[in-house]
Structure 1
Amino acid sequence: MRFDYGGLKMGRVVPSPDNCIFALDIGTRTVIGIVALVESGRLRVAAQYAAEHESRSMFDGQIHDIARVADTVLEVKRNLEAKVGFRLTRAAIAAAGRSLVTRQCRVEMEIDGEAEIDAALVNSLETAGVKNAHREVESAGPGSAEKYFCVGYSVVKYYLNNYPITSLIGHRGSLIGADVLATFLPDSVVNGLYSVLRRVGLEPVNLTLEPIAAAEVVIPESLRLLNLALVDIGAGTSDIAISRKGAVVSYGMVPVAGDEITESISEALLVGFDEAEKIKRALEKGGTIGYKDILGVENTITAEEVAALIDPALDRLAAEIAAAIIELNGNEPPRTAFCIGGGSRLPGLTGKLAGKLGIEPQKVAVRGREAVGNLIVDEEGLEGPEGVTVVGIATVAVQRLGQQFIKIKVDGKEFSLFNSGGLSVSSALSMVEFNPRDLIGRNGRNLKFTLNGRPQVVYGGLAKPAEILVNGSRATLKTPIKEGDEITVLRARDGEDARAWVRDFLENPGGISVTLNGEPRVIRPVCILNGAEVPYDSEIKEGDSLDIKTVRTVGDLLEGMDLQDYAIMVNGAAAGPGYELKDGDSVSLFKRSSSGAEEAYRLIAEKKEESDPPGGREWITVRVQRQAGPA
């Protein structure tokens, strides 16, 4: 996105798609959106809108129900579009510090000592620091399936020829360096935000961490010499940033916030979560609060009584936030703590937090938009502490616009990806919701059955693996990608499941033609599938039992007969039961008591005599006993 500061009308810049930034604060309970632009060096909020989730679709800053969160974001988007009169297609967003991992790295770079250091060179130095931090994070948990993405960073200190310096731009030197504090979140958190944006037709233009965004406007550089703590107390998380010695030096998060107080009210008064939330918000006004319990009974309670009920939960909340602040601050309390976010409105919280930190009560203060310098807001509303973070998101986006995202194409579609350093094909595909199943084909299922009592396996077809191309060249999931690259994925193809038919296991399905005692016969295999005779085109299923009976010999042909009582001739020659039949054979069978038996026996004897070896013959005697005829 480019910014055009022209189009003045009555001394004001006219909002347009070219000069505005759409910032979204997607919180556990509320989504806040603003359309802002830069005017005379100040950030001007031209339109703003807030909407609550209709159900608990987020917990502890993590999106659980993407569709419901997207519905709330869409409501905010449409209302803002109606106010500004043009479509919003890109959004700056921030992630809560759930599962936050931070790394501080020192990075150095040798440069041309005669060249003046410019912003591009400083950006390259900072990016190198982020990449080093990213490698440390990835290597810290080998074997973990979770990947981490950088969601923001800050520079603790710059160095010029090994000397600390507040800014490198415009200087000359041979060695520049920086201490970079980079923050990382699991890809599940980041991808959830991306999924919501895609569902409502928005492209991410900038991604940061909520405490980074808040610190940008609540703790400006002029205050960072002081040891300050910033706590963004939302509904599900309390995000923390610590400053001292001119920089923001640490970030953290505790997964407790306003929802813990709401839940304690719900349990104490037997009301639903939404009703408990209304009671909690009414505490600021004091007086008597009316409510309806889960039995439908109308009740009233004073704000003082509610405060007494939530006091233990409030004490625990303050204790956990204070413990995290002290740990992040080197095991000592800060000089002052600023509280923002809707949860900071809880009566009594700042006093308890001061007590847990061990500092004076007046040094823990709630900050609203009045604390943000160089800010103009065109319409009323959201002046309190809940409207600060979204302004910080917009401010960070204006400062870093175009530096954090790269554009690539995946299968012809263009995507903007957060440039967390060291992007590869794998990380790109994960961020555009590419289904990993498309990369790995499945071999076809094998078919197992029994054939003539023996196990038989017909193997399924082999899968065809996926092919990955980057700019038309073969690549792998580990191939690095950069701005403008085009990734093409030829998806894997599953192998076909094995199928088989009875005919596949027949040697001669057409059979053979023989003549038996002058009668022509065609002899074909008989197929028994699961105990029943079936045709040859029957399909075999998993676990079937197939038996194939094939007539191969004279014995097979005459199966079931006692051949000891018969003489056998094939094609006029004597033969035994083991004779293998061939197409066209003529088989004759003579019973010993028949009139033709003597001739058959004589032929058998002659055949035997011809086959005797030279020098010796063995004579056999064939006796035929005729049955006496009628007298």
Structure 2
Amino acid sequence: MATNNSQADVIFALDIGTRTVMGLICQIQNEKLMVLAHHVAVHKDRAMRDGQIHNIPKVAEVVKEVKVALEKKIGRKLTKVAIAAAGRALRTVKGRGYRNFKDIPLLTKEHIQELEVQALLNCKKEIEEKFPQEPLYCVGYSVLNNKINGYNIDFLEGQKGGEAEIEIIATFLPNIVVDSLFEVLKRVDLSIQSLTLEPIAAIEMAIPQKLRMLNLALVDIGAGTSDIAISKGGVVIGYGMVQKAGDKITELLAEKYLIDFATAESLKITLCNKKKASIIDILGIKREISYEEFLEVIKPGVEEITEEIVAEIIALNGKAPSAVFCVGGGSQIETIRQKLAEKLNLPLERVAIRYRENLENVKINSRKLKGPEIITPLGIAAVADKNSFHNFIKVKVNDEEIAIFNPKRVNVAQCLFTAGIKVEEILKGIRQEDFIYFIMGEKVVIPGSKGYPGQIYLNGKQTSLEHEVTEGDSIQVVMPQNPPKVKMSLQDILKPYNYYVNLNGVKKSLIKKIKVNGKNVQPGYILQNNDKIEIEYINSLKELIDHSLDDLDIYVDNKKITEDIEFFNPQKNILNIPQNITFSKISVDENKGEHTQGFSVIANGESIFLDKEKPLVVDVFDKLNFDITQPKGMLRIKKNGLEAGFADRVKPGDSLEFYWE
């Protein structure tokens, strides 16, 4: 074959298994998947266990061996590879999103998105409860069914509002799985052309789309794990994994016959193919082993493996499926197939092994590739061809690079979930808690305000959660800003509780004292949540004027009053608050035996009574307690807001100010 440095027309599919690494060189010809070359290498040590890479350098050595061998066969350099992540690390949970949209005329994409996010949050909560110590990230989800008012429906968008529900299946994966695969490929100078999940690859080849209307189970029995996928109604409804497979059988043989693991593995393969074998144990004793003896020795392992596989199938499907397809090297032990049929109560012919002969649109040049272990590598190649884009893409979220599976279409919401961003906070925003206080026994609630909503930018432009994301995109998230905390003083809330009267032309408040939580405070006091406020009022003329009423002439709203009056009843309900009160003092001239009247003015906020005829500003100053022993500037005088002097006349109701400037 001529050397060609281009890899555009071939697919290098690599299945890194627990026992072996299989590489295929495939090409699409006339809509058929052609296998041009293959190479299989065995791990020299147990560098992989249960499908997980434990020794990166040793796994890289085996992968390099496969790569070099295939490059020699096809005469070109391989730079890209299609691979699959192990099913052992796959975690899937189902979640529901529900909301009553009875007041919504028609459901929109935004309403459906809200339901999907709610379902994802429920999945995330469940996965965190199940695996609290393992960092898991959502790598994708698919909708299983939609309901409106309890009835199944294909599409919610455009439906009339009501009780809407969405059920999804979400897939989670630890970052260690992808990181270890990346490191192995990096060491052998390979970049990823396509990355999928092993059960997805297996079902892609074993159960084509046209069969997925049927309720079928795929069981891929490898060396370390048994991967499971369930189809029904045209979709894959669940993935599962059991950490028991072919290695369990190998370990039983090693223990029974006192041989090392590699010898036991070789014995297992020989007995399955030739029905008899001989071995020499660690003591140097040679033994002949029949197939019947082999089946008896492995019986406990077969029982254990099939028991767990059946339990996982029932957990995913709710019942036994209509049929089971088995792939993977471990499925060649015939008693496994028999036990699966027995435990699922299915006829034996409904538990079938998928061989190359059963596959459509596949052509393999080599006769050596014939067992069920070929299914998953072929599926890896098929997935790589089916999706022209990568099954695994890298994007940046807030400048941090993340990797995310891309089985169909990746949107902004999936990237944010993978990056650990709390999507629900972006959608709902941050709301300040209600501010509550009690005044005169009445509860007052000030609803908490909503802060500025969060914003999402894709490559510098504002976007939405459902917007599609492609390789190399950059997402920036500005989280919602906290709303300003409620801050108010007593002065801000006293207006409805403050009452005034005009006293000799001066507006005077009837509030005498304010207590908060039993302590006296000033009107500038800043309220705290759940404060209890009590107000004590001036409740009578005598209390207001602060003088005996006997020697005063008092007019209330132009009517002369001779007796004291109350403004409030004992329960603080308003009884009678006048608008205008004027009073003047009656003085007695002892020489003439006559009564002379005076009047009051306000000076620096105090009421000053003047009984002198034609009083001046200086007379007010004389009665005011104003310290002039320590001057602090120039003495300034204002009367009713205008500049005044000591010799100016004053009249009833005047307001004067004396101050240093």
TM superposition score normalised by structure 2: 0.54
Given candidates 309, 321, 332, the residue that maps to 1:321 is 309
Q: 2:58 aligned with 1:102, yes or no?
A: no
C-alpha distance after superposition, 1:608-629 (max 9, x if no partner): xxxxxxxxxxxxxxxxxxxxxx
- Aligned to 2:383, what secondary structure does the other structure show? helix
Distance in 2 (alpha carbons) for counterparts of 1:130 and 1:293: 59
- Which of 380, 384, 387 does residue 397 from structure 1 map onto? 384
> Following TM superposition, by how much is the alpha carbon of 1:283 offset from its aligned partner in structure 2, in angstroms?
1.7
Matched-pair contact (CA < 8 Å) for 2:138–2:417: no
Does the 8 Å CA contact 1:24/1:93 hold for their aligned counterparts? yes
Task: Tell me the SS of whatever aligns to 2:334.
Answer: coil
Aligned to 1:82, the other structure's residue is in SS state helix
> What is the aligned counterpart of 1:369 among 353, 356, 360?
356
Q: Secondary structure of 1:236's partner?
A: coil
- Alignment deviations for residues 493-548 of structure 1 (CA, whole Å, 9 cap, x no partner): xxxxxxxxxxxxxxxxxxxxxxxxxxxxxxxxxxxxxxxxxxxxxxxxxxxxxxxx
Question: Secondary structure of 2:38's partner?
Answer: strand
> Structure 1 CA distance, aligned partners of 2:417 and 2:314?
41
Deviations 1:382-415 (A, max 9, x none): 22100001111111122223253435699x9x99
Residue 50 of structure 1: aligned partner: 40
2:82 equivalent among 92, 97, 107: 92
- SS of the residue corresponding to residue 298 of structure 2 reads helix
Shift in CA distance, 259/251, structure 1 to aligned 2, threshold 3 Å: same
Matches within 5 A, 1:163-562: 181-330=169-318, 332-406=319-393, 418=405, 422-423=414-415, 483-484=471-472
Letter in 2 for 1:70: A
Whether 1:32 aligns to 2:16 is no
The AA in structure 2 aligned to 1:362 is E
Give 1:289 shift: 0.9
The aligned residue for residue 502 of structure 2 is none
Q: Distance in 2 between matches of 1:153 and 1:79?
A: 38
Provide the rounded CA distance (Å) in 1 between the counterparts of 2:68 and 2:233. 43
Q: What letter matches 1:50 in structure 2?
A: V
> Is contact 1:31-1:72 (8 Å) kept?
yes
Determine whether 1:71 maps to 2:76. no
Q: CA deviation at 1:27?
A: 0.8
Aligned AA (2:360): G
- Mapped to 1, the partners of 2:207 and 2:294 lie a distance apart of 34
**Quick check: 1:82 aligned with 2:69?**
no
Pick which of 37-46 and 384-393 moved more: 37-46
* Match in the other structure for 1:20: 10
Q: 1:403 to 1:99 in 2, by over 3 A?
A: closer
What is the CA–CA distance in structure 1 between the aligned matches of 2:113 and 2:379, rounded to whole Å?
Answer: 22
Closer, same or farther in 2 for the Cα pair 1:337/1:485, shift >3 Å?
closer
Contact between 2:196 and 2:392, CA under 8 Å: does it hold in 1?
no
Contact 2:50 2:88 in 1 (8 A): yes
C-alpha change, 1:371 and 1:128, in structure 2 (3 Å) is farther
Q: Is the 8 A contact 1:24 1:390 kept in 2?
A: yes
Aligned partner of 2:31: which letter?
Answer: G
The verdict on how the C-alpha distance between 1:286 and 1:335 changes in structure 2, with shifts beyond 3 A counting, is: same
Alpha-carbon distance, 1:293 to partner: 0.8
Check whether the contact 1:283–1:347 (CA below 8 A) recurs between aligned residues.
Answer: no
User: What amino acid is the match of 2:87?
Assistant: G
1:100: Cα distance to partner? 2.5
Quote the Cα distance in structure 2 between the aligned partners of 1:203 and 1:89.
6
| Structure 1 residues 378 and 152: alpha-carbon distance in aligned structure 2, compared to 1, 3 A threshold | farther
Could you tell me which runs of 5 or more consecutive residues in structure 1 were left unpaired when the two chains were aligned: 1-8, 109-121, 429-469, 473-479, 488-631
> Which letter maps to 2:386?
Q
Residue 78 (structure 1) shift: 1.2
Contact between 1:424 and 1:481, CA under 8 Å: does it hold in 2? no
In structure 2, the residue corresponding to 1:17 is in which secondary structure?
coil
Distance 1:132 1:186, change over 3 A: farther
Deviation at 1:213, TM superposition (A): 1.1
Identify which range, 373-382 or 387-396, moves more after superposition: 373-382
Residue in structure 1 matched with residue 539 of structure 2 by the alignment: none
Q: List gaps (5 residues or longer) in structure 2.
A: 99-108, 421-457, 461-467, 476-661
What code does the residue aligned with 1:51 have?
A
Query: Hey, what's the Cα distance between the residues in 2 that align with 1:324 and 1:22?
Result: 32
Q: CA deviation at 1:147?
A: 2.8
Q: 2:119–2:166: 8 Å Cα contact kept in structure 1? A: no
Tell me the amino acid that sits aligned with residue 364 of structure 1.
V
SS at match of 1:55: coil
* Equivalenced residues, count: 408
Q: CA deviation at 1:182?
A: 3.6
C-alpha distance 481-261 of structure 1, shift in aligned 2 (>3 A): same
Query: CA separation in 2, counterparts of 1:232 and 1:42?
Result: 23
8 Å Cα contact 2:225/2:244 also seen in 1: yes
Structure 1: distance between partners of 2:78 and 2:115: 33
Task: Using structure 1 for the length normalisation, give the TM-score.
Answer: 0.57
The equivalent of 1:555 in structure 2 is none
Please tell me whether the aligned partners of residues 206 and 401 of structure 1 are also in contact (alpha carbons under 8 angstroms).
no
Contact 2:221 2:326 (8 Å CA) reproduced? yes
Partner-residue secondary structure (3-state), 2:87: coil
Where does 1:570-609 land on structure 2 (aligned, <5 Å)? none
Aligned counterparts of 2:158 and 2:293: Cα–Cα separation in 1? 66
Change in Cα spacing, 1:263 to 1:163, as seen in structure 2 (3 Å) is closer
CA distance in 2, matches of 1:174, 1:222: 29
Give how far 1:372 is off. Answer: 2.0
